[in-house]
Structure 1
Amino acid sequence: MALRYCRLVLVFFVLAALAGCAGTTHRVSKSKLDEEIKYPDAFSFSGTGAVYDGKWWEVFGISELNILMEQMLENNKEIAGSYEGLKALQAALGISTADRMPSLSLETSAGDTYSTTGGSREWRDSYDISLTASYEVDIWGRIRSAVESDRMALLSGRFDTESLYMTLTAEFADRYFLYKSLASVLKMQEEILTLRQKQVKVLEMTYTSGIGSLDSIYTKQTTIAVLLEDISETKQSMLEAKYQMALLLGEADAGSVKISDSYNLAIPDLPEIIPGNIAEKRPDIRSAYASVLQINSDVAQAMANRYPKLSFSASAGYSGDEISSLITPENFVTKLIANLTAPIFDAGNLKNQQLRQEYLLKQEIQNYYQAVLEGLKEVSDSLADNMQNEQALKLSQKKVGIEENRLRIAEMKYKSGIEDYSTVLDNKISLLSGWITEVNARRSLISSRVELARASGGSWADGLVDERLAGLPDLQETR
C-alpha cells in the first residue's frame, strides 16, 4: 500500500514538473504587429509647441474649467459604471486564478442500506465524514492560459476606461467652451439689438418730419425680428450646452451648473506630434492589443483542451455504522486517486473550437491594425482642422481691424458734420458682427485643440485609474 502511494506521489511530481515547461502561451509580439503598419515619418500638418502632458485641459489656464472637470471625473455615472465593469472583470480573473490552486471540501453523509444476508433481511445504518482535497495538474497550460486570457480582458477593460476618460473630458471641455462663446455672442447680439432699435427710432423721427420713407423703417424692423430669432436660438443653445454639462456632471438640473459669462480664452500652441508615438499614447489602441493577447491565450487554452487532463484527489475521514463511535482509529479511512481523462471522439468539436479561436485571433489582429490606422487618421485630420481654423481666426481678426478703422473714420465724419449718426450706428453694428465672427472662429479653433488632445491620447488617465482601483493586481502591459 505504501509503495503504491509512493508511486502515485512520484508520478504527481514528475507531471507537475512537466507542467512548468509545457503549454507555454506564445505571446503575439507588438513589435511584429507594428512592422505591418507603415508609420509616416511626420504628419502633413504639425505644430512646434510642447505636447500636452498631464491633464491637457489645464493648458488653457482656466481655474473654473479645472474645478468643473474634477467634479465631472468624480461624479460622472458612465465612469462609475465603467469601474463596476472592471471589478467584474477582476472577479472573473479571481475565479480563473483559483483554479490553479487545490480545492478542499468537507463531506458528510448518513444513510440506511437494506440488504439480505443468509435469508434474513435487515437495515444497516452508515455514517461518513471526510476531508477531500483535489487538484488538476496543468500539464498543457490550459488553466494558465485561462488566467492569462482573463488578465488581458481586465487590462483591455482598464484601457477602455482610460479611453472613456479621454472622450468625456474632451466632450465636457467642448461644451464648456461652447457655452462661454455663446454667452459672449449673446452679449454682442443684444448690443446689436439696442443699436438696431436706435436706428428705427431715428428713421421714425425722420419719417415724421417728412424726410424718410416708411419702407426703410419696415426693412429695419424685419432685421430686428430676424435678430430676435437669432438671440432666442443662442439662448436655447446655451441651455442645451448646460444640460449636456449637467449630464456629464451626474446632475439632473442644468441650473446646478454655475459658469461665469466672462470671455477671455487663450489658445495654447499647436503641439508637435510624432506618428510613431500614437500607438503608445492612445488607450484605445493599447486596448486593441490587449484584446489580441486575450484571444491568443484563448487559442492556447483551446489547444490544451485537446490533450489529456490529469487530476488527483485525496481524502481522509471516518466511516462506520454507529454515529456515537464514528470518530475512532478503527473507522479511519484514507483515499488517493489519480484520474486521467483524454478525449477520444467528439466529432471534431475540440478541433473546431481551436480553429474558431485561431480565426478570431486573426480577426482581432486586423481590428488592431484598423484601430492604429483610425488613430493616425484622427490625429492627421485634427491637425489639418487646427491649421485651417488658425487661418480662419487670423482672417476674422484682420476683418475686425478693418471694421474698427471704418468706425473711427465714421465717428470723425459725424463729429465734423459730414455724416449723420446712422452711419456711425451701421459701422458699430458691422464691428459687433465682426467680433461675433471672431468669437465663433476662436471657438472653432479651441474645439480643434480639444479634439487634438483627445485624438493624440496621453498617459494622464492611467494615474486616475490607479487611484480608483488601488487594490487591483499589477496590470503593467508587457511588451
Structure 2
Amino acid sequence: MNMRFASITLTAGLLCACSQVPVYERPQAPIGAEFESAAGLPDAVAPQWWRSFGSPQLDALIEQATASNFDLRAAVARIDQARASLRIGSADLLPNASASGSISSNRQEQNGRWDSGESDQASLSVGYELDLWGGNRAAREAALARLDASRWNRAAVVLVLQSDVATSYFQILALSEQLDIARQNLEAAQELLDLVQVRYDAGAATALELAQQKTTLLSIAATIPSLQQSLASARNAMKVLLGGEPGSELAAAPIAALTVPDPSPGVPSALLEQRPEIRIAEASLIAANADIGAARAALLPRVELSLSAGVSGALTGGSSQFVSLAGSLAQTLFNGGALRAQVQLSEAAQQELTASYLQTVLESVKEVEDSLVAQRTASDRAVILEQAAEQAREVYRLALIRFEAGSEDLLTLLDAQRTRLSAEDSLVQARYNRLLAAAQLFKAVGGGWAEAALDET
C-alpha cells in the first residue's frame, strides 16, 4: 500500500506542472519614447513632491490628511479584504483535516429481557485534492494579483488625496488674497469717494462724478460676499479631506511666497511602473489571465486522496484500530455547457481588461501632456500678468495725482481704478493656476511612486 501511495503522489506531482494559465505578457501600448512637451525639464520626481512648494503648513496638512482621511481608511480596509481572499484562495492548496468522536449507549428488550450495550469511536481524516491542472494555483495567483491591485488602489487614493489637499490649500490662499485685495480696493474706493464728495461740496465735481464713484464703490463691495462664500466652501472642503478635523489655522500667507516647482514627467514608459491607475489596470489583467487557467482546469478530471485512521472501543473495552487510504476521480460529463461558458467568460473578461489597460495608458500619457502644456501656459501667463499688474498700479497712481491736481477728469481715474483691480485679481488667479498646474503634473506622473512606496501596506 505504501508503494502504491508513493506512486500516486509522484505521478500527481508530475501532473501538477500542467498549468492551464496562459503565459502573461504585458500588452504593448502605442506610446512614444518621450513626451512632446518635456524638453529641457529636470529628471526626477521625489515621492514627497509637495515639499517642493516650500510650505511647512502644506506639509502639515498633507500629513494630517494621510492620518485621518476616511477614503484612505476605506482603501486600507480593501487591502485587508484582499489579503483575506488570498488566504481563502490558498487554502485549497493545502490538505484539510478533521477529527470526530462519538460514544453511544443503547438498551433493547428481547424475550422479556433488557440488554444494554455501549460503543465509542474516535477518528482523524485527512483529505487532499491533487492540483493536477493548476486550477487551485491559478485561483491563488488571481487572488494575489487582486491584492496587488488593492495595494495600488491605496497608492492611488493617497496620491489623489495629496493632490486635493495641495489644490485646496492653494485655493484657500488665492481666495484669501483676492478677498484682501477687494477689501483694500474698497478702502481705496471709499477714500476716493470722500475726495469726490469734498470736491462736489466745493463745486469742483459734478453729481454725475459723485454717482459714478458710488457705483464703483458698491461694485467692489458686492464682490466681497461672493469671495467670502467661496473661501468658506474651500475651507469646508479641506475639513472633509482632513477627516472632519479642523486642521491648523491657515495663515494668510501671500500665494506669491510659495515656490513654484518645475516637475519632470520622465519618459512615457516610466508611467507603466509608477502611475497607480496603470498598475491597478495591469494587476486586474493579471488576475483575469489567471482566472482563465482556473476555468480551464475545471473542465478536467479532479483527483482527491483521503486518509482516515481511528480507534473504536477504547472506552468500553475491546478496542480496535482502523486505517484507510482512498482515492477518487471525478469528471463532469454534462452540465449544459456551463463550464465551457465560464472559460469563454474568463477569456472575454481578459480581452476587456487588456483594452482597458491600453486605454488607461493612453489616457495617462495624454494627462501628462496636457499638464505639461498647462504648466508652461500658466507660467508664461503669470509673468505677463505680473508686468500688467505693476503697470496698472502705476497708471492708477499717476491718474490719482493728476485728478487731485485738477488736471485729469474722474472718468479716467475710475477707469484706471477698475483696471488695477482687475489686474491684481487676475494676477492672483494666474499664480494659483501656476501652482495648480504643477500639482496636477505631479499627480499625472504618479507622484514619484515606486514599489518601495507600498511596503507599508
Give the TM-score, by structure 2 length: 0.91
User: Which residue type is aligned with residue 29 of structure 1?
Assistant: E
The match for 1:194 is 187
- Partners in 2 of 1:122 and 1:202 — Cα distance? 124
Of 6, 30, 34 in structure 2, the residue corresponding to residue 38 of structure 1 is: 30
2:322 is the counterpart of 1:342: no
> Which whole-Å CA distance do the structure 1 matches of 2:450 and 2:226 have between them?
36
Which amino acid letter does the alignment assign opposite residue 262 of structure 1? A
What is the distance in 2 between the residues matched to 1:308 and 1:141? Answer: 12
Distance 1:113 1:306, change over 3 A: farther
Contact 2:265 2:445 in 1 (8 A): no
Write out aligned runs for 1:384-399 (5 A).
Answer: 384-399=373-388
Tell me if 1:14 matches 2:7.
no
Is the counterpart of residue 357 in structure 1 residue 349 in structure 2? no
2:229 pairs with 1:240: no
SS in 1 for 2:98: strand
Which string of whole-angstrom CA distances, capped at 9 and with x for unpartnered residues, describes residues 301-349 of structure 1? 00001111111111111123x7433xx6x41111111111111121211
Aligned length: 454
* Gap change, CA 1:227 and 1:462, over 3 Å in 2: farther
Q: Which amino acid aligns with 2:195?
A: V
Q: 1:272 to 1:451 in 2, by over 3 A?
A: closer
Distance 1:206 1:418, change over 3 A: closer
1:28 aligns with 2:24: yes
Q: Equivalent residue for 2:47?
A: 54
Tell me the distance in 1 between the aligned counterparts of 2:436 and 2:294.
47
Point out the more displaced range, 95-104 or 202-211.
Answer: 202-211
Whole-angstrom CA distance in 2 between matches of 1:426 and 1:293: 65
Q: Following the alignment from structure 1 to structure 2, what is the Cα–Cα distance between the partners of residues 428 and 399?
A: 14
1:448 counterpart residue number? 437
1:262 aligns with 2:253: yes
C-alpha contact (below 8 Å) 1:195/1:425 kept by paired residues:
no
Task: Provide the alpha-carbon RMSD of the alignment.
Answer: 2.8
In the other structure, the counterpart of 1:279 is: 272
Find the counterpart in structure 2 of residue 369 from structure 1. Answer: 358
Secondary structure at the aligned position of 2:307 is classed as strand
**Given the superposition, is the C-alpha separation of residues 412 and 194 from structure 1 closer, same or farther in structure 2, using an over 3 Å criterion?**
closer
In the alignment, the residues of structure 1 paired with residue 182 and residue 322 of structure 2 have an alpha-carbon distance, to the nearest angstrom, of 93
Deviation of 1:25 after TM superposition, in Å, equals 2.6
Q: For 1:199 and 1:414, how far apart are their aligned partners in 2?
A: 10
Q: Secondary structure at the match of 1:460?
A: coil
CA contact (8 A) 1:47 1:272 kept: no
Alignment match, 2:76: 83
Structure 1 position 456, deviation (Å): 1.1
Asked if 1:437 is matched to 2:426, the reply is yes
Which residue of structure 2 lines up, in the alignment, with residue 472 of structure 1? none
SS in 1 for 2:316: helix
Following TM superposition, by how much is the alpha carbon of 1:459 offset from its aligned partner in structure 2, in angstroms?
A: 4.1
Identify which range, 42-51 or 88-97, moves more after superposition.
42-51
- Contact map agreement 1:386 1:449 (CA 8 A) in 2: yes
Identity %: 25
C-alpha distance in 2, partners of 1:272/1:462? Answer: 18
Query: Is the alpha carbon distance of 1:414 and 1:202 closer, same or farther for their aligned partners in structure 2, counting shifts above 3 Å?
Result: closer
2:321 to 332, 337, 340: 332
Question: Structure 1's 123 and 47: CA in aligned 2 closer, same or farther, altered over 3 A?
Answer: farther
More divergent stretch after superposition (403-412 vs 184-193): 403-412
User: How has the CA–CA distance of structure 1 residues 461 and 436 changed in structure 2, closer, same or farther, with 3 Å as cutoff?
Assistant: farther
> Is structure 2 residue 135 aligned with structure 1 residue 139?
no
Q: Matched residues in 1 for 2:343 and 2:233: separation?
A: 51
CA distance in 1: counterparts of 2:154 and 2:348, whole angstroms: 27
Deviation at 1:381, TM superposition (A): 1.4
Counterpart residue identity of residue 139, structure 2: A
* Structure 1 residues 421 and 344: CA distance shift in structure 2, 3 A: closer
2:294 is matched with which residue? 301
Q: Distance in 1 between matches of 2:373 and 2:321?
A: 82
Relative to structure 1, the CA distance from residue 238 to residue 379 in structure 2 (aligned partners, 3 Å threshold; closer, same or farther) is: same
CA contact (8 A) 1:302 1:354 kept: yes
CA deviation after TM superposition for structure 1 residue 373, in Å: 1.1
Q: Distance in 1 between matches of 2:453 and 2:31?
A: 30
| 1:12-70 residue CA offsets vs partner (Å, 9 max, x unmatched) | 23212321x2115333211xx11xx3212433322523232221111111111111111
CA distance in 2, matches of 1:355, 1:313: 33
The residue identity in structure 1 corresponding to 2:5 is L
In 1, the alpha carbon distance for the partners of 2:143 and 2:348 equals 19
**Distance in structure 1 (CA, Å) of the matches to 2:199 and 2:182:** 26
**What is the CA distance between 1:212 and its match in structure 2?**
2.4
Identify the residue that residue 372 of structure 2 maps to in structure 1.
383
Offset, 1:438 = 0.8
Unaligned stretches of 5+ residues in structure 2: none
CA distance in 2, matches of 1:215, 1:396: 33
Structure-2 residue corresponding to 1:476: none
Separation (CA, whole Å) in 2 of partners of 1:248 and 1:312: 55
CA distance in 1, matches of 2:162, 2:45: 14
Q: Distance in 2 between matches of 1:218 and 1:170?
A: 47
- Secondary structure (helix, strand or coil) at the match of 1:242 reads helix
Alpha-carbon distance change, 144 to 347 in structure 1, aligned in 2, over 3 angstroms: same
Deviation at 1:421, TM superposition (A): 9.6
- Residues 458 and 204 (structure 1), Cα distance of their counterparts in 2 relative to 1, 3 Å cut: closer
Assess, with a 3 A threshold, how the Cα gap between structure 1 residues 114 and 371 changes in structure 2: closer, same or farther: farther
> Partners of 1:269 and 1:428 in 2: how far apart?
35
**2:214 paired residue number:** 221
Q: Which stretch shifts more, 150-159 or 219-228?
A: 219-228
Bigger drift between 134-143 and 402-411 goes to 402-411
1:126-165 matches, cutoff 5 A = 126-165=119-158
- In the other structure, the counterpart of 1:316 is 309
Rounded to whole Å, the distance in 2 between the matches of 1:458 and 1:79 is 16
Could you state the TM-score of these two structures normalised by the residue count of structure 1? 0.87
CA deviations on 1:365-424 (whole Å, 9 max, x unpaired) are 111111111111111111122222222212212212322442454476579775589977
Tell me, in whole angstroms, the C-alpha distance in 2 between the residues paired with 1:124 and 1:223: 109
